[in-house]
Homo-oligomer: A and B are copies of this chain.
Amino acid sequence: MYKLYYFPSNANVAPHILLEEIGAPYELVLIDRTKGAHKEAAYLQLNPGGVIPTLIDGELVLTESAAICWYLAEQHPQAGLVGAVGSADRAHALRWLMYLTNTLQAEILHYYYPTRLGGDDTVTADALKSRAEARISGMLTILDNQLVTSHGPYLLGEKFCVADAFLFMLCRWTRNMAKPARDYPQLATFVQTMVARPSVIRAMTQEGVATPWV
């Protein structure tokens, strides 16, 4: 039976609706964020970002609301929530899901939590940039920890997966920060492994990107 960690009207709403669409049995577990339960050690072990929701499916612990939505849709093809692999409908559903999570959802969080961006005082663009850099450090630490958990050199371990290409691109984008991705111990190994990969060498060379790439 699925278990969905939730708080009313949080990012659990979309997976919750899909569980109802599917008609699969599930249990809701309240994470009382008014009491800080989402930042307690027990929950952080399931969800290192301390965000809601988390889905449990047997041994699998899955975070990221949009990933949970896609996972549920794929697991239950009879519910018709995604088209077959290779169909245009499936590609477009994914495209809108990505847009919703990385653009609209990200922006709505700024509306609700503007002080996370700028603090309580007035800020300059330079200060906004520095504060972004500080938050990026926290994210790179989460990713570095994942490479410890997976034993590296890739996000899921020895096997290169689709997310590693995306991680490499973002690591490159941090290259001029005070503490770039290459200065984190596991991410250092990751980017060294990636820049030796023939696909990366060909892509970066074709784009005419000057070295060092990260």
Q: Report A's interface with B, CB cutoff 8 A.
A: 6, 8-9, 11-21, 28, 49, 59-60, 62-67, 69-75, 80-83, 85-86, 88-89, 91-108, 110-112, 114-115, 117-126, 128-129, 132-133, 135-136, 139-140, 142-143, 146, 155-156, 159-163, 165-170, 172-174, 177, 197-200, 202-204, 206-209
Given A91-B60, A125-B114, A96:B167 Cβ within 8 A: yes
Cβ-defined contact, A20 with B95, below 8 A:
no
The complex is assembled from copies of this chain, and their number is: 2
When distances are taken between beta carbons in the complex, the residues of chain B under 8 Å from A128 are 110, 114, 117-118
Most chain B beta-carbon neighbours within 10 Å: one of A15, A155, A162:
A162
Closest B residue by C-beta to A51: B103
Given A161-B82, A209-B9, A166:B69 Cβ within 8 A: yes
Cβ-defined contact, A13 with B172, below 8 A:
yes
* Alpha-carbon distance A203/B21, docked complex (angstroms): 10
When distances are taken between beta carbons in the complex, the residues of chain B under 8 Å from A170 are 100, 104-105, 108
When distances are taken between beta carbons in the complex, the residues of chain B under 8 Å from A98 are 64, 66-67, 101
When distances are taken between beta carbons in the complex, the residues of chain B under 8 Å from A112 are 173
When distances are taken between beta carbons in the complex, the residues of chain B under 8 Å from A126 are 114
When distances are taken between beta carbons in the complex, the residues of chain B under 8 Å from A198 are 20
When distances are taken between beta carbons in the complex, the residues of chain B under 8 Å from A96 are 146, 155-156, 163, 167
Q: Which of B12, B65, B107 contacts A135 (CB 8 A)?
A: B107
A interface majority secondary structure: helix
When distances are taken between beta carbons in the complex, the residues of chain B under 8 Å from A156 are 89, 92-93, 96
Given A118-B118, A169-B13, A67:B91 Cβ within 8 A: yes
Given A95-B64, A100-B166, A111:B177 Cβ within 8 A: yes
